A and B are shown apart, each in its own frame.
Chain A
Amino acid sequence: MILIIDMNWKKDSLGFYEFVLPIAEVAEKLEDCKIKHYFEVSSEDVTCCDKIILSGTALKDTATLQQPEKFEWLKEIEKSVLGICAGMETIGMVYGARLANCLEIGMTEITKIRENPLFSKNFKAYSLHSYCVEQSKNFEILAESSKCLQIIKHKTKPLYGMLFHPEVRNPELISRFIELDSKLENS
């Protein structure tokens, strides 16, 4: 089961349709999904799922970045997690990476930096962010754009971050994340 975490500024927001449902439409083709708002994620939710996806949010929505205490559970987790946009920023923040102002809106060239199981070559993707995650000791860089890091992975845990929105033009990246063998990821 995939736990999709709604990262929008409030539960049942207008952002839910735009940033959560499109991810769920991709994920539900492969696995059962459960959607919870980040305010309401319980330890049982985290324990019972196989993988977790943290959604993105609207450009003006920085609510999760003001509440790092809501994501303490990410520090202990050994399961695969994919953070999209605000989700990536939140994973980065929890693991000590610094955030910087960085505005990208629209189709962006994503350049592969390192071999990885999610994609094999450069591609274009839809970006919508006002912050980026700076390089830090805990993460390896899988891809970047001309402005900033675009895909990162934790060095020892199966935690991925994508700054662009794969649900818009690259849903296959979400599918590949779901289909990755977690045991192989850590080997």
Chain B
Amino acid sequence: MRIGVLFSGGKDSTLALHYTAEKEEVACLITLLSKNKESYMFHTPNIDVTALQAKALDLPQVTKITLGEKEKELSDLEVAIAEAAKEFRIEGVVTGAVESVYQAERVQRICCRLGLWCLNPLWKRDQKTLLQELLTRRFKAVISGVFAYPLDEKWLGKEVDTETIQRLIDLQQKYGLSPIGEGGEIETTVLDAPLFKKKIEILDYNIEAKGNSGLFNIKQAQLISK
């Protein structure tokens, strides 16, 4: 089956992409470039880096800019998926949804209208197991956004490694934080993963942070040999 993967460049959609590539044919990536940093549906930090990630993966990318208004962004997503279906003959869409019924339901409805399969290989999976799988598969990802107490500026740019994962799991036990960031508590940017033919090197970045909210903005990056 030819699949279009909804791709934000974060750890979840990149892991879903790897699951997909093991079972089906990944025909393209589909990315919504949301101008609303508080989008309900889409990951926004470093979304422009997805172009570099697509190059690293050697996969075509269908992109669509959306203003990110609550329901309008869904019609923009539908346009992007329809374009992927037309241009790359995809038969199904894969998402990196883990827990969010809000997101899963909306993508299911769009796929249903377009006559496409919708599959969510991370759905309802144990979050600690998924985080550990990133390490097992040797993903290199950095935290590119924090949006919840008690996370703060100190987390931004940190690599998702054993120590970071343990700290996130501790925060789950203490504060009920979703360790994978399914409620938008954290966002990540993947710099390297098994399917990347080259890895991403960050050349310049800045940090914008206030209280328990902040962004690690990659301003300049390049692909380098692995």
Residues of A that sit less than 8 Å from B by CB: 12-15, 17-18, 21-22, 25, 58-61, 103, 105-107, 126, 128, 130, 167-169
B109 within 8 A of A: yes
Pick the most buried of B111, B116, B117, B122: most chain A CB atoms within 10 A of its CB: B117
Who on chain A is nearest to B92 by CB? Answer: A60
**A168 pairs with B94, CB closer than 8 A:** no
Q: Roughly how many angstroms separate A59 CA and B121 CA in the complex, as a whole number?
A: 14
Across chains A and B, which 7 residue pairs bring their CB atoms closest together, nearest first?
A: A22-B124, A106-B105, A17-B121, A18-B123, A60-B117, A14-B119, A14-B23
**A106 pairs with B117, CB closer than 8 A:** no
B205 within 8 A of A: no
**B112 pairs with A103, CB closer than 8 A:** yes
In the complex, which of the residues B24, B119, B122, B124 contacts A168, with contact meaning CB atoms closer than 8 Å? B124
10 contacting pairs across A/B (C-beta < 8 A): A14-B20, A14-B94, A59-B108, A59-B118, A60-B118, A105-B108, A105-B112, A107-B101, A128-B108, A169-B101
Residues of the B chain whose Cβ atoms lie less than 8 Å from the Cβ of A130? 112
Q: Roughly how many angstroms separate A21 CA and B122 CA in the complex, as a whole number?
A: 10
Who on chain B is nearest to A126 by CB? Answer: B101
Q: Roughly how many angstroms separate A170 CA and B117 CA in the complex, as a whole number?
A: 24
Chain B 18-53: CB-based contact to A (< 8 A → 1; otherwise 0): 011001100000000000000000000000000000
Residues of the B chain whose Cβ atoms lie less than 8 Å from the Cβ of A13? 23
Who on chain B is nearest to A165 by CB? Answer: B124
Q: Roughly how many angstroms separate A106 CA and B124 CA in the complex, as a whole number?
A: 15
For the complex with contacts A14-B23, A14-B121, A106-B108, 4 further pairs of A-B residues with Cβ separation under 8 Å are A17-B122, A18-B123, A60-B117, A105-B108
Q: How far is the CB of B126 from chain A (nearest CB, A)?
A: 7
Q: How far is the CB of B77 from chain A (nearest CB, A)?
A: 15
Residues of the A chain whose Cβ atoms lie less than 8 Å from the Cβ of B124? 18, 21-22, 25, 167-168
Size category of the B interface is 20 to 34
Who on chain A is nearest to B99 by CB? Answer: A168
B120 within 8 A of A: yes
Q: How far is the CB of B196 from chain A (nearest CB, A)?
A: 21
Q: Roughly how many angstroms separate A13 CA and B20 CA in the complex, as a whole number?
A: 9
Given contacts A22-B125, A168-B124, contact A17 B19 (CB under 8 A): yes
Residues of the A chain whose Cβ atoms lie less than 8 Å from the Cβ of B122? 17
Q: How far is the CB of B2 from chain A (nearest CB, A)?
A: 13
Q: How far is the CB of B139 from chain A (nearest CB, A)?
A: 17
Q: Roughly how many angstroms separate A22 CA and B127 CA in the complex, as a whole number?
A: 12
**B116 pairs with A14, CB closer than 8 A:** no
Who on chain A is nearest to B109 by CB? Answer: A105
In the complex, which of the residues A12, A22, A58, A107 contacts B119, with contact meaning CB atoms closer than 8 Å? A58
Q: Roughly how many angstroms separate A105 CA and B101 CA in the complex, as a whole number?
A: 10
Q: Roughly how many angstroms separate A130 CA and B126 CA in the complex, as a whole number?
A: 28
Pick the most buried of A18, A130, A168: most chain B CB atoms within 10 A of its CB: A18
Residues of the A chain whose Cβ atoms lie less than 8 Å from the Cβ of B123? 17-18, 22
**B101 pairs with A15, CB closer than 8 A:** no
**B19 pairs with A105, CB closer than 8 A:** no
Pick the most buried of B94, B101, B116, B123: most chain A CB atoms within 10 A of its CB: B123
Residues of the A chain whose Cβ atoms lie less than 8 Å from the Cβ of B111? 59-60
